[in-house]
Structure 1
Amino acid sequence: MFTIDMAPSMQQSGQRDAEGTSSTENGKEEHSGLQVVVLGPTGGPREDRVTGLLVRSTSTKWSANSVIAVDAGTLLCGVINILEPCDNQRAVLDRGPFSGLELPFNNAPANAAHFFRHIIGAVLITHPHLDHVSAFAINTPALEAGNGAKTIAALPSVVTAIKTHIFNDVIWPNLSDEEGGAGLVTYQRLREGGEAMLGIGDERGYKRVCEGLVAKCFAVSHGSCRLHPPAESDVHHRLSSAAFGPGPMKLGPGGFSFSMEEPDAGYYSPVDSPSLRGASKEKWTTVESSVFLIRCPVAKREVMIFGDIEPDSISRNPRNKRVWEVAAPKIASGQLRAIFIECSYNDDVEDDYLYGHLCPRHLITELTTLASIVKEIKFPESDATKKRKRASAPDVGTDVPLSPKSKRLALTGEKGQSNRRGSNRSTRRHTRAKAAFDEPNERLEASPGVSQPATDVGINTQLAESSDPLTTHTWPEPPLAGLRVYVIHIKDHLTDGPPAAERILHELQAQGKSAGLGCQFYVPDRGESIFI
C-alpha cells in the first residue's frame, strides 16, 4: 500500500473549512471535528445528484462504521464519482474529500462498494420521499449478508413508510430483518426530540449512530398530502412520531385530529385544507420530515441537517420554532457552526406553489426567528433588537414575508385583498399583510462565484430592494456571526441561462444582509468536502 496525490480533477472538487475557505491541504485530519461530504446537493430533477450527504468525526480516521449517510437520494454513485480519479490504483489517499482513506481494491466501483459496506455505519433518512431514499434501495444488492445488516435510522413514521411502501416485496424486495425479510437492512426507530434517558449535559438525548457520532432528531412539517382512508392494518401509517398528542383526540370538521392547543408541539392535524376544501371533502394531513442534530463528542461540535421543510408562517402544523429554540444555545456557545437546509425555489414562486419547501424570503424569516432567540441568550439585557420599519415600507401588521402575488395585488391597488387592516382574516397566513412595498422581482443576470460569501459577491441593486424582508433589525452585534448556512435541495430548472443556485444565493445574501443576521450562505458543489 502506498500514498498518492489525487488527480487534478479531484483536487479541484475542493474542501471547505469552518471559516468557509477552500483548501486542499492535508492538515485537516490533525484537527478533531466534523467533516461533511456532499454527494447530492440538489432537489432534482436529475437523479444523479439529488440529496445525499456523508458525515463523520475526523477523530475516527475512516475506521469501520465511522461514517453516516444523511438521506440517500444519491449514495453509491456519488462515492464512485469522487473515487474515479484514483481508479486502478490501490492507495491511501492524501488529497480530496476522502483524504486518509485506504483503498483496498483497484477500481473505483469496487472501492465504493467497500466504502458502502464497511465504512458507512448507518443511513439517516429525514423523510421517505424518493429523492431522499431511492439510492439506498437501489444500492442494497451491494450489501453482503456476512457483514451484518445496514441500519436505517429515522423517526418511526419514516421507518413505517419505508417498510410499508418500499421494502414490501412489491416496489422492492423485503431486504430488512423484519417480517421474514432477507436481513440486509435493519431499522432503528429514533425518538422524536431525543432519548431522554441517554447522555448527560450537552449530550443529553443524543443517541449513538456510528463510531464517533451521536445524533438527535426532531420532526418538522413538509407540506400537506391527501389523507387516504386507511385499511384496518394501515392506521398507524398516518400517526405522528410522538407517542402522545398535546390534547385528546376530537372530532372536527375534517375528521379526527389532535387538539392543537400547543401548535409548536409537533403533531399531525389531519383536517381539511381551507384552500382545498370543496365538494370532494378530501381530508389532508401534514407530511412529516425531520432535522438531525449530529454531534462529535470528542470535538464538542455539531452540525444541523434538515430534510425538506416548509416555513412556519404558511404551515398548518408549524414546528420550526421549537427546533430553533434547541439550536440557539448551541449557536451562542459556538458548538453548532453549520446548518444544511433546503431552499428549493427563488422568490418568484408563489406560496401556493412551494409544495412544502422554502424560498429565500421564508428562509430569511426562519433564520430571523433563530437570530432573535440567539440574541436573547447572548444579550439578555439588551433591548436594541426592536424592529424598525424600512423607510420604503408602509405600516405592516405582520412580519410574514409577502409572496409575489401579494406584492402585485398591492401594486395594482386591489383593496380588500392584502392592503387593508383586518380584512380577510380567514385566508391563509401568508396573505395577512396590509400592503406591499416593492416592485416584483426582476430576473438576476448571471454572476460567477456561487459559493462565495456575501462580502465577496456583488449584489444586484434591484434584487436587494425587491426581495429584502418587511423589516430590518438592529442588533448589538450580528447574532448569527460565524454560522455557515449551506443551501441544498435547489431545484434545477434545466433551461438556458444562469443556474437556479445563482439566483437563490443572491436573494439570500441580499436579504440576509438587510436583516443583519451575520451568517454566511453557501451553495455546495457535488463532491465538495466541508470541515466544521
Structure 2
Amino acid sequence: MQRFLLYLLCCVAWILNASAQEPAFQVIPLGVKGGLDESNLSAYMVAAAGTTDYIAFDAGTLYAGIQQSVNNGLFPGRSVTTVLKQNIKGYCISHAHLDHLAGLIINSPDDTAKNIYGMDYCLDVLKSNYFTWKSWANFTDAGEKPLLNKYHYASLQEGKETPLAGTNMFVTAYSLSHGKPFESTAFLIRHADNYLLYLGDTGADTIEHAQNLSVLWKTVAPLVAAGKLKGIFIEVSYTNAQPLNKLFGHLTPALLTAELHTLAGYAGSVYMKHLNVVITHIKPAENAEAIIQKELSDANTTGVQYLFPEQGRVMFF
C-alpha cells in the first residue's frame, strides 16, 4: 500500500511539474489549408516563447493571416504591415509550390530585408521561376539582374544546424519526398534545449519508395524519448478514401498513423503519449476536416494528441 501511495504521489508530482512548465515556442498559423482559398494557405509564424521575433515556416498566405491575427488581438497597436516588416525576421520555405510561397512573392514589395532559408532544390526554383523580371521583380541578391538585394538566399545543408538571424532559434533541414522525384523539406527548430518539427508536404515512405521519413523519425526519436520535442507539424491532405495512385506526394490518416508507429518503434511507444501532432494542409473537400479528425482519432493507438490549427489563433508548445 505504501509503495502504491508513493507511486501515486510521484505521478501527481510529474503531472504538476509538466503543467507548470513554461512553453518553449509560440506559433501563429497564418494559413492552414491545402488549397483553393488563397487567403488561407500554408504559413506558420514561429517564435521562442516570450519573444516577438518570428520566422515564417512556409509563406503561402501572409497578409490575410497577419490581418486575422491582428483582429484576434495578437499584436496590439501594430498594423499588418508593421508585423510583416518588423516581427517576421525571415522565411523557411519547404518547397517551391505556390501554395507555400505565394504570400512571400506578393508581399515582397512592402517587405524589409531578410533571409529566405531553404534547401538548394527549393531556392533554385525561386531564382529561376519566381524572382525573375519575367514573372516578378527580383527582390533577391542572386539570379536574373538587376538585383534589388532585399532578400538573401540562405542555403541550408541537410543535417547541419543553422542560426535563424534576428531570433534565438536554430534550424536543421531534412529532405522529404513529395511525389518522387520532387522534394520538400522538414525543418527541426531548436530554442535552447527544446524542439519543434515542421514538415512541408510529404508522401509516405511506402508510397514514395523512399526512406526520408524513416531517417527523420530515427533522428528525432531521442528528442521524443527525452520530452524535448514539443510538437510535430505534419500534413494530412486527404481522407482515407483517396486512391493511393492519386495522392501526389501527400498523406492520409492511415498513412500518417503508420508513420507514427514507425516513430514509436524508434522512440519507444510509452514516450508517444500526449506528443503534440498538428495536422496541416487539409485539402478542400466536403466534410474533409471532420472525416480526417475521425479517421485519425479512431486509429490513434499511439496516444498522440492531435491538434487542428486555426488561422490567426496562437498555439503554445
TM-score above 0.5, yes or no: yes
2:286 counterpart of 1:519: no
Indicate which of 96, 100, 118 corresponds to 1:154. Answer: 118
1:329 corresponds in structure 2 to 222
> Aligned partners of 1:208 and 1:84: how far apart in 2?
28
Q: Which amino acid aligns with 1:158?
A: C
Task: Give 1:117's aligned residue.
Answer: 85
Query: How many residues are treated as equivalent by the alignment?
Result: 297
Contact 2:198–2:232, Cα closer than 8 Å, also in 1: yes
Question: Contact 2:69/2:313 (CA < 8 Å) preserved in 1?
Answer: no
Equivalent residues of 1:220, 1:290 under 8 A apart: yes
User: Which residue, out of 294, 318, 321, partners 2:189?
Assistant: 294
Match of 1:138 in 2: 106
Q: Which residue of 2 aligns with 1:481?
A: 273
Q: Separation in 1 of the partners of 2:111 and 2:41?
A: 22
Task: Note closer, same or farther for the CA distance 1:169–1:316 as it changes in structure 2 (3 Å cut).
Answer: farther
Residue type of the alignment partner of 2:203: E
Is the Cα contact below 8 Å between 2:156 and 2:162 reproduced in 1? no
Alpha carbons 2:197, 2:233 under 8 Å: kept: yes
Question: Which residue, out of 153, 174, 197, partners 1:218?
Answer: 174
For 2:299, the aligned partner's letter is Q
What is the aligned partner in structure 2 of residue 103 from structure 1?
A: 77
Q: 1:206 offset after TM fit, Å? A: 4.4
Measure, in 2, the Cα distance between the counterparts of 1:103 and 1:183.
30
Deviation at 1:511, TM superposition (A): 0.9
Match of 1:191 among 157, 165, 168: 157
Distance (Å, rounded) in 2 between the aligned partners of 1:373 and 1:336: 14
Flag the 1:524–1:366 CA change in 2: closer, same or farther, 3 A.
same
| Cα deviation, residue 163, structure 1 | 0.9
Aligned to 1:240: none
Q: Which digits, 9 at most, give the CA deviation of each residue in 1:45-87, with x for residues without a partner? A: 1111010100001243x2xxx11000000112210122136xx
Report if aligned partners of 2:196, 2:230 keep a CA contact under 8 Å in 1: yes
* Pairing 1:83–2:39 present: no
Match of 1:47 among 38, 44, 47: 38
Distance apart, 1:521 and its partner CA: 1.0
Aligned residue for 1:223, secondary structure, equals: coil
Q: For 1:220, what is the secondary structure of its paired residue?
A: strand
Correspondence for 1:71: 58
Give the Å deviation of 1:102.
5.3
Alignment partners' CA distance in 2, 1:215 and 1:177: 22
User: For 1:240-389, what aligned pairs fall within 5 Å after superposition?
Assistant: 286-297=181-192, 300-375=193-268
Distance in 1 between residues matched to 2:309 and 2:238, nearest whole Å: 16
Note if contact 1:371-1:480 (Cα within 8 Å) is conserved in structure 2: yes
Residues 67 and 80, structure 2, Cα contact 8 Å, conserved in 1: yes
- C-alpha change, 1:123 and 1:319, in structure 2 (3 Å) is same
Determine helix, strand or coil for the equivalent of 1:215: strand
Q: Does 1:180 align with 2:180?
A: no
Unaligned runs of 5+ in 1: 1-18, 20-27, 86-95, 105-110, 195-204, 225-285, 376-474
Kept in 2, the 8 Å contact 1:505–1:522? The answer is no
CA separation in 2, counterparts of 1:218 and 1:340?
A: 14
Which residue number corresponds to residue 29 of structure 2? 38
Aligned equivalents of 2:241 and 2:289: distance in 1? 14
Contact 1:312–1:319 (Cα < 8 Å) also in 2: yes
Query: CA shift at 1:169, angstroms?
Result: 0.9
Q: Which position in structure 2 is the counterpart of 1:269?
A: none
Provide the rounded CA distance (Å) in 2 between the counterparts of 1:310 and 1:331: 22
Which of 133, 138, 152 matches 1:169?
Answer: 133
| Distance in structure 2 (CA, Å) of the matches to 1:520 and 1:32 | 16
What SS is found at the alignment partner of 1:338? strand
Instruction: Tell me which amino acid in the other structure corresponds to 2:24.
Output: G
Q: Deviations over 1:310-358 (max 9, x none)?
A: 0000114331111001111001001102111000000001110001000
**C-alpha separation in 2, matches of 1:171 and 1:374:** 46
**Compared with structure 1, are the counterparts of its residues 363 and 39 closer, same or farther at alpha carbon in structure 2 (3 Å cutoff)?**
same
Aligned-partner Cα distance in 2 for 1:508–1:102:
36
Q: Which amino acid aligns with 1:142?
A: D
Q: Distance in 2 between matches of 1:133 and 1:165?
A: 12
Q: Return the TM-score normalized by structure 2.
A: 0.89
Question: 8 Å contact 1:337–1:482 — kept in the other structure?
Answer: no
Structure 2 distance, partners of 1:51, 1:208, is 20
**SS of structure 2 residue aligned to 1:503:** helix
CA contact (8 A) 1:59 1:212 kept: no
TM-fit CA distance, 1:168:
1.1
Identical residues among aligned pairs (%): 30
1:209: how far off? 4.2
Q: 1:174 to 1:490 in 2, by over 3 A?
A: same
Larger radius of gyration: 1
Q: Please tell me the residue identity of whatever aligns with 1:155.
A: M
Counterpart secondary structure, 1:183: coil
C-alpha distance in structure 1 between counterparts of 2:22 and 2:305, whole Å: 23
Unaligned runs of 5+ in 2: 1-14
Secondary structure at 1:103 match in 2: coil
- The residue that corresponds to 1:451 in the other structure is none
